[in-house]
């Protein structure tokens, strides 16, 4: 896929922040079957113009709710949202024009062809015929040869690419992708990422939601972690990954331990049971052999051992606990 040079407004009109959220709150009303649900609990978030921003969080965290508010598909309960400096309540036309959203759910009218669909979308956004880039976009997402096929005849991967093209018809400076690779094969994933990266290099701000840490890690320069409707962290990717530099060594000892040996004071230790010793260390700094040597030098006899890496779930927990305390 080849990226298309975008024609954004002159630099003078370019805001510092592509997206600004203040106290964004959403409560879904109770229905006959379910209780009311507070999906967003006062989100404050700034997304810098030009960044490749990852919104990472487990299922149900509130990612799609946030995206859908920006897309105008969900009405917020409280708070403020600005896209490209335009408040979505006060300047709805301008804010809508500044963003293209590829929603998580693939919604396509099966009786339109890709070409018709893109033309229709361009019409909706008031893009004059002379400025339409239908063929260029179809080419960019590798659908030129399917331009006149009915959408219902397209594979899942092709539909996803068509949705990306659809989000780009009005050349928005901000592109939002909500879990675009869920259920998508590796090859498409690679070409989709290559394309989105190129768009980003050309100046488009990208907001990507995912629950795959690796995906965010590889692509994004900034990552916000959202959990349970709250932002638990928002940091440059290298800093966030630094938090993952933790491993746990779980040891079973041959007898009860009453006093923690001083030799182990350089590590963070814990005794969940009298014969279970947990030593936390940083793989980038501490060699596991040194950790084990320190245990043995302390006269402890190990009868069993295992290691555990810090995963995203642990980080969520750590961050959320820190947030509460």
Binding residues (CB under 6 A) for ligand ADP: these are 28, 37, 39, 57, 59-65
**What is the nearest approach in angstroms of ligand ADP to the Cβ of residue 64?**
3
Residues near 41 by beta carbon (within 8 Å), at least 6 away in sequence: 25, 228, 229, 230
Residue placing its CB nearer to Mg ion in the complex, 39 or 240: 39
Report whether 170 contacts 127 (CB < 8 A): yes
User: Could you tell me which of 217, 175, 222 has the C-alpha nearest to residue 200?
Assistant: 175
Stretch that binds Mg ion, among 11-19, 101-109, 132-140, 273-281 (CB under 5 A): 101-109
Residue placing its CB nearer to ligand ADP in the complex, 63 or 76: 63
**What is the nearest approach in angstroms of Mg ion to the Cβ of residue 57?**
9
**What is the nearest approach in angstroms of ligand ADP to the Cβ of residue 26?**
8
Q: Is 64 in the site for Mg ion (CB under 5 A)?
A: yes
**What is the nearest approach in angstroms of ligand ADP to the Cβ of residue 34?**
6
Stretch that binds Mg ion, among 61-69, 107-115, 158-166, 187-195 (CB under 5 A): 61-69
Partner in contact with 57, chosen from Mg ion, ligand ADP, none, beta carbon below 5 to 8 Å by kind: ligand ADP
Phi-psi region of 224 (alpha: psi -120 to 50; beta: other; left: phi over 0): beta
Residue placing its CB nearer to ligand ADP in the complex, 33 or 129: 33
DSSP string, 204-258: -EEEEEES-HHHHHHH-SEEEEEETTEEEEEEEHHHHHHTT--EEEEEEESS---
Residue placing its CB nearer to ligand ADP in the complex, 58 or 283: 58
Partner in contact with 37, chosen from Mg ion, ligand ADP, none, beta carbon below 5 to 8 Å by kind: ligand ADP
Phi-psi region of 111 (alpha: psi -120 to 50; beta: other; left: phi over 0): alpha
Total residues contacting Mg ion by CB under 5 A comes to 3
Residue 24 phi, psi (nearest 5): -70, 125
Q: Is 210 in the site for Mg ion (CB under 5 A)?
A: no
**What is the nearest approach in angstroms of ligand ADP to the Cβ of residue 24?**
12
Q: In what order do the strands lie in the sheet with 17-28?
A: 37-48, 17-28, 78-83, 86-87
Residues near 141 by beta carbon (within 8 Å), at least 6 away in sequence: 1, 161, 162, 164, 165, 195
- Could you list the residues that contact Mg ion (CB under 5 A)? 63-64, 104
């Amino acid at each position: 896929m080849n990226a298309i040079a975008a024609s954004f407004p002159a630099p003078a009109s370019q805001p510092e922040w592509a997206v600004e959220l203040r106290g964004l709150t959403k409560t879904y009303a109770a229905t006959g079957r379910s209780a009311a649900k507070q999906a967003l609990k006062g989100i404050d978030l700034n997304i810098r113009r030009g960044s490749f921003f990852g919104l990472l969080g487990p299922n149900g965290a509130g990612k799609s709710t946030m995206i859908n508010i920006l897309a105008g598909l969900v009405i917020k309960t409280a708070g403020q949202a600005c896209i490209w400096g335009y408040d979505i309540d006060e300047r709805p036309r301008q804010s809508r024009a500044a963003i293209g959203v590829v929603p998580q759910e693939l919604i396509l009218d099966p009786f339109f062809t890709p070409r018709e669909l893109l033309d229709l979308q361009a019409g909706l956004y008031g893009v004059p015929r002379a400025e339409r880039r239908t063929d260029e976009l179809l080419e960019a997402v590798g659908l030129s040869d399917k331009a006149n096929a009915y959408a219902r005849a397209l594979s899942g991967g092709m539909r996803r690419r068509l949705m990306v093209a659809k989000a780009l018809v009005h050349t928005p400076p901000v592109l939002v992708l909500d879990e675009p690779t869920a259920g998508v094969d590796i090859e498409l994933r690679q070409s989709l990422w290559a394309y989105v990266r190129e768009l980003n290099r050309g100046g488009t701000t990208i907001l990507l939601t995912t629950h795959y840490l690796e995906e965010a890690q590889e692509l994004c320069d900034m990552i916000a972690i959202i959990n349970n409707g709250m932002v638990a962290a928002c940091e440059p990717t290298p800093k966030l990954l630094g938090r993952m530099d933790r491993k746990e060594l779980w040891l079973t000892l041959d007898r009860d331990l009453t006093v923690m040996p001083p030799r182990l004071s350089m590590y963070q230790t814990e005794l969940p049971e009298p014969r279970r010793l947990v030593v936390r260390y940083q793989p980038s700094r501490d060699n596991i052999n040194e950790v084990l040597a320190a245990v043995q030098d302390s006269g402890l006899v190990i009868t069993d051992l295992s290691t555990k890496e810090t995963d995203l779930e642990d980080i969520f927990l750590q961050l959320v606990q820190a947030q509460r305390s």
